[in-house]
Amino acid sequence: MHGHLACGVTSLFVGDLAVARVHLEQAVAHYVGDEHQAHAPRFGQDARVTGLANLGNALWLLGFPDQALATTRAAVRWAEQLSHPHSLALALFFTAVVHQRCREAEAVRDLSATLLRIAGQQGFQFWAAGGMILQGWALVELGAPAEGIARLRRGLADWRATGAGVNQPYYLALLAEALGTTGQPEEGLAVLSEALSLVCDTGERFYEAELHRLRGELLLRLAPGGVGRRTTGAKVPPPRVPRPHRTQAENCFRQAITLARRQGAKSLELRALLSQARLVGHQGSPTAIRLQLEEVYGWFTEGFDTADLQEAKAGEGRSS
């Protein structure tokens, strides 16, 4: 069980998503309640909770948002049944992460508040930092950008203060997105450069495609008329993006699509295709990208009420 868990979590972080799924499913399958429940005090967290939580993370990336949420919620229920606070904090964190990737800010706000309460009561500095980062993202989305960005920055500093190296590219992506949303694209691009450097230094690649997509979006915001566009769920850009900005952004989106396909990260591939479709919708021939978008949308079998899939269905970014 612990061998599969270690292989699964490691494979997830380096971007071997299909391999990660297999190992994490095996870890959960090998869990024996009476035997392994006793491991939680010794190892700090319950192995079944850890396996389910990380499996939910992998499932969202692979393109199964409904299964991802069901899996992380199962982790929460099991942690509650065990009455093990550290395992519960872990499960709440990953459930909030999946909701964040589904762009469900109110759920992230509520889950992060619960996580911060438990972390404060138990002295879990690590989970308190993660909860503050996610809460910051939610606040930006819900109309409190200054407070949200401040919490993102503080949470990231607290996370680093624990000595943790993992998840930083993902957190920096959230900060960069927030900065782009609030009219600070240059600072957002600097944050993404830091994130991409960390990817190269550490090999943590599961969110690499999204970093390149966000870079393309922020480059477009630097173009004349680009101010005010969002980095996700956006309408089409102004009809005349200058060629240098357009070329740089297209290159970023293509790189994001290539990386997502290599990893089998269907959710990130869809998001990158949406960004490219919005750009080409009024800039050139949209036929090829529209067909790619339709093909990827047709691959999905669930999650049709999530923001990205609703946007794809509505045809945002496609020419009429």
Residue range of the domain that includes 244 = 196-320
Rounded Cα–Cα distance for residues 86 and 81 (Å): 13
Residue 143 in any domain: the answer is: no
Residue 184 in any domain: the answer is: no
Residue 221 in any domain: the answer is: yes
pLDDT at 237: 46
Q: What is the DSSP letter of 303?
A: -
Residue environment code for 253-285, b if the CB has 16+ CB neighbours within 10 A, otherwise e = bebbbebbeebbbbbbbbbbbbbbbbbbbebee
Domain boundary among 71, 102, 133: 102
Rounded Cα–Cα distance for residues 304 and 242 (Å): 34
Residue 150 in any domain: the answer is: no
pLDDT at 229: 45
Residue 289 in any domain: the answer is: yes
Q: Which helix (H) or strand (E) holds 201?
A: helix 185-202
Together in a domain, 204 and 307: yes
- Residue-by-residue pLDDT tens, the chain, 320 positions: 999 999 999 999 999 999 999 999 999 999 987 655 556 566 679 999 999 999 999 999 999 999 999 999 999 999 999 999 999 999 999 999 999 999 999 999 999 999 999 999 999 999 999 999 999 999 999 999 999 999 999 999 999 999 999 999 999 999 999 999 999 999 999 999 999 999 999 999 999 999 999 999 999 998 766 544 456 655 444 446 677 778 999 999 999 999 999 999 999 999 999 999 988 874 545 678 889 999 999 999 999 999 999 999 987 543 32
pLDDT at 303: 98
Rounded Cα–Cα distance for residues 131 and 144 (Å): 17
Instruction: Report the domain count for the chain.
Output: 2
How many CB atoms sit inside 10 A of residue 67's CB?
18
Reported in sequence order, the residue ranges of the chain that DSSP labels E, i.e. its strands, are none
Domain boundary among 42, 70, 102: 102
Task: Tell how far CA 141 is from the center of its chain.
Answer: 15
Residue 138 in any domain: the answer is: no
pLDDT at 227: 42
Q: What does the block give as tokens for 263?
A: 């990893």
Q: What is the CATH number of the domain that holds 45?
A: 1.25.40
Candidates 65, 35, 28, 57; CA nearest to 304 is 65
The residue whose two tokens read 């971007």 is 15
Residue 313 in any domain: the answer is: yes
**How far is the CA of 4 from the CAs of 12, 26, 39, 237, in angstroms?**
12, 6, 16, 45
Residue 147 in any domain: the answer is: no
Domain boundary among 85, 102, 119: 102
Q: What is the largest CA-CA distance in the chain?
A: 64
Q: Could you write out the three-class secondary structure of 114-131? A: HHHHHHHHHCCHHHHHHH
Q: Which helix (H) or strand (E) holds 113?
A: helix 105-122
pLDDT at 245: 77
Together in a domain, 200 and 317: yes
